[in-house]
């Protein structure tokens, strides 16, 4: 995903894997959309762990590593 698109979509839904970095599932423009997707994922996969996080844009213009 391009850096420009990542800046437009700062809210991320991540899957929390044991002993690993979180894996980004999807990016959203607002918190309500991210929380909606989180609820759907939790219903579809009740044994997996998911979380919503905010990745603020990097002011220097250098892409940040994904959560």
Is 60 among the domain residues? no
- Helix, coil or strand: residue 48: coil
- Tell me the pLDDT of the chain (67 aa) as tens digits: 566 666 788 999 999 998 888 899 999 999 999 999 999 999 999 999 999 999 887 766 556 566 5
Note the pLDDT of residue 50: 97
Burial label, 13 (beta-carbon count in 10 A; 0-12, 13-18, 19+):
buried
Note the pLDDT of residue 3: 67
Is 28 among the domain residues? yes
- The number of folded domains in the chain is 1
Domain extent, residue 26, equals 3-54
User: What global pTM score does this model have?
Assistant: 0.75
Note the pLDDT of residue 20: 85
Beta-ladder partners of 50: 15
Is 40 among the domain residues? yes
């Amino acid at each position: 995903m391009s850096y420009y698109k990542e800046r437009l979509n700062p809210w991320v839904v991540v899957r929390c894997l044991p002993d690993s970095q979180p894996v980004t599932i999807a990016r959203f423009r607002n918190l309500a959309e991210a929380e909606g997707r989180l609820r759907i994922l939790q219903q579809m996969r009740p044994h997996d762990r998911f979380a919503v996080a905010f990745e603020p844009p990097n002011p220097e213009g250098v892409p940040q590593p994904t959560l």
